[in-house]
Amino acid sequence: MSDCLFCQIVAKEIPAEIVYETGRTLAFRDVNPQAPTHVLVIPKQHHRDAAELARADDGLADDVLKTAHTVAVQEGVAEDGYRVVFNTGPGAGQTVFHVHAHVLGGRGLTWPPG
């Protein structure tokens, strides 16, 4: 989708600090980090939100989660703990409508969030 910010990042039309990439996923630093480690993991294929990704049923959701874990290991937060968050819909705080997982770590993460 030509007007999707994350699709433009996948196409390398908009710069991003990419930290990890596979054939089907891309991980890059959030421009407004909420924790010392705050990386976004996206599928390269456009899906609007986590619900649409789940309906795709082609293993892509699994790839996104595997990439999220790989990023946590690479960033050094896997052992102490990290959070993976999918915001689905505007009521949940989703502002870019290309599904993305936030990988957060490097500080204590309280509960409940938000």
Query: Catalytic amino acids?
Result: 100
Task: Report helix, strand or coil for 53.
Answer: helix
Distance between CA atoms of 62 and 93, rounded to whole angstroms? 23
Alpha-carbon span 7 to 34, nearest angstrom: 23
